[in-house]
Amino acid sequence: MYISMMIGGLALVLGILVGYFIRQLVANREIQRTRREAQKLLDEATTKYDDLLRAAREEAIKVGNAAEAESKERRLEIQRIERRVNQKEEALERKLEAVERRDRDLDNRNREVDRVTAELQSIREKQLAKLESISGTSSAEAKEFLFQMLKQEVEEEVSHEVRVWEATIREEADERGRGILATAIQRCATDVVSETTISAIPLPSDEMKGRLIGREGRNIRALEQATGVDLIIDDTPETVTISSFDPMRREVARVALAKLVLDGRIHPARIKEIVDKTRAEVEATARSEGERAAYEASVPGLHPELIKLVGQLKFRTSYGQNVLLHSLEVSHLAGMLASELGANASAARKAGLLHDIGKAVDHQTEGPHALIGADLAKQWDKNPEVVQAIAEHHGEAETNSVMGFIVACADAISGSRPGARRESLEKYLKRVKDLEDIAAGFPGVDKSFAIQAGREVRVLVKPDKVDDLASVRLARDISKKIEESLTYPGQIRVVVIRETTAIDYAK
C-alpha cells in the first residue's frame, strides 16, 4: 500500500517534470517563431525606411531645386524692378531740374512783369493826370459820366425790348380776349337801365303834408319810429323826401307812405298797421325776387338766407345801376366766360350772382362789400371757390384764382357798358381832377387833360426832357399810379403825346 503510494507519487512528480519540459520546449519554439516574425517585420520596416528615406531625399532635392529656381527668378525680377525704379528716379530728377529751371524763369518773368506793370501804372497815372488837366474833369467825374451814359443806353435798350414784348403779348392777349369777351357779350345781350332809389314822394297837396306831420309832429314821429327812416319835409311844395342808408327800410317807408297818402287816414295806430303790412309785403317781394334771380341765373340749391339777401339787392343801387340786375348780368357773363375758358361754369354763375351780396348789409357791417359778401357766402355756402372769387373780385384780396379773374372781368363788363352807371357831378369832377393831377405830377409832363368822361387821359410831355422810349415808361407809370390811387368802373386809357416842332424861315 505504501509502495503503491510511493510509485503514484513518483509518477506524479515525473508527470509534472515531463509536462514542464514539454511546455518549455513549446515555449522555446514559440519564442523562436516570434523572433523570426519580429526579425521579418524589422527587415520589412528597415526596407520601407530606406525606401522612404530615399524618396524623402529625392523630394528634398526636387524642392531644393524648385526653391533655388524660384529664388533665382525672384532675384531677376527684383533686379528688373530696381532697374525700373532707378530709371524713374533718374527721370524724376530730370523733371525736377526742369521744374526748377522753369521756376527760375517764371520768377525772372514775374519780376520783369512787375517792373513793366509799375512802368505802365506810372505812365497811366501821368496820362490820366494830363487828361484831367486838359479836360478839366476828374477821373471820378468821368466814371460817373460814363456810368450815366451806359445806364441810359441800357435803359433805352431795355425799354425797347420791353416795348416789343409788351406789344407782342398785348396783341396776342387782346386778340384772344376780344374773341372771348365778344362771344360772351353777344350771348348776354341785355337792356341797359339806369335806376335810382326813389327818395322823393309826391303829395297831392300841401294839406296832405300837414296831415303827415300831424298835431305837434306826432304822425311823422310815429312814421319815422315805425320805419326807421328820416322824413324830410321842407319848403319844397307837395314833396316829402325819405332818407335812410338801409334800402329795405327806405322801400318800406316809400310804399307805406304811398298807401297812407292814398288811404287818407293818417294817425299813429294806422301808421303802425300799414307799416307792419308793408314790411311783410316787401320781405315777401325780396324773397320772390331772390328766387326768381336764382332761377334765371341757373343757380339751384341756394340757401334761403342767401336768396333773401339776393332779393334785397332789388332795392339797392350803385352808381344808378340796380344791383340785382347787375348781379344777374354778371352771373350770365361769368358763366359764359367760364365756358369759353374751360372753367367751372356752374360755380362761376353762382359767384357772379353773389359777388355783390355784401351790399345788402354793408350799411350794417364795417368793411368792403366784397369781403362782407365772402363772409356771408362762407357762412351759408360751403364752396371755397365761390367764396374766394367773391373776395377777390374788387381787389380787396389778392386775385390769384381763375374764378376771381372771371368774376372781376364780368363785373367790369357789366359796370362799364355805356349808360350802365352814372355818378354824381361832384364825384365825377373830383375823379377828373384827380386824373389830371396824377398825370401832371410826373417829371417832364407839360399838360394833362381828362377826356371822354374820365375814360381817357391825354398827357403832353416836354420833348426836350422826355424821349420816345421814356414816354412809353411814363404811360405805364401813370397807369400804375391811377390803379393804386383811384377807384373807377371799367378802364382808363392813358395817352402820352410827344411832339417836336422845328420852325425856320427862308429869307
Give the residue carrying C-alpha cell 303829395.
203
Cell of 88: 524713374
pLDDT tens-digit map of 375-389: 888 888 778 888 888
Cell of 99: 521744374
| 163 and 469 Cβ atoms separated by less than 8 Å | yes
Tell me the mean pLDDT in the region 177-192: 53
pLDDT tens-digit map of 320-342: 678 888 888 888 888 888 888 88
pLDDT confidence of 197, banded at 50, 70, 90?
Answer: very low
Task: Answer yes or no: is pLDDT of 481 > 50.
Answer: yes
| 468 and 498 Cβ atoms separated by less than 8 Å | yes
Rounded distance between C-alpha atoms, residue 240 and residue 236, angstroms? 8
Rounded distance between C-alpha atoms, residue 68 and residue 62, angstroms? 10
Rounded distance between C-alpha atoms, residue 271 and residue 264, angstroms? 11
Q: Which residues contact 449 (CB under 8 A, 6 or more apart)?
A: 436, 457, 458
- Helices marked H in 355-467: 369-380, 384-392, 402-416, 425-440
Hey, CA dihedral for 84, 90, 91, 92, is it positive or negative?
A: positive
Closest CA to 460 of 477, 474, 481, 480: 474
**Rounded (10°) CA dihedral 279, 284, 285, 291:** 150
Rounded distance between C-alpha atoms, residue 398 and residue 420, angstroms? 27
pLDDT confidence of 196, banded at 50, 70, 90?
Answer: very low
Hey, CA dihedral for 35, 36, 37, 40, is it positive or negative?
A: positive
| 180 and 341 Cβ atoms separated by less than 8 Å | yes
pLDDT tens-digit map of 400-458: 788 888 888 888 777 766 555 555 556 767 888 888 899 888 988 988 988 876 778 89
- Phi and psi at 400, nearest 5°, equal -120, -25
Tell me the mean pLDDT in the region 153-167: 72
Structure pTM? 0.49
The secondary structure of residue 194, as a DSSP letter, is B
What single letter denotes the amino acid at residue 361? Answer: V
- Model pLDDT, residue 142: 66
Write 435-439 long-range contacts (CB < 8 A, 24+).
435/482, 435/486, 435/492, 438/478, 438/481, 438/482, 438/485, 438/486, 439/478, 439/494
pLDDT tens-digit map of 99-145: 888 888 888 888 888 888 888 888 887 777 777 677 666 666 667 76
Rounded distance between C-alpha atoms, residue 307 and residue 290, angstroms? 5
Cell of 128: 490820366
Q: Which residues contact 198 (CB under 8 A, 6 or more apart)?
A: 254
- Model pLDDT, residue 416: 64
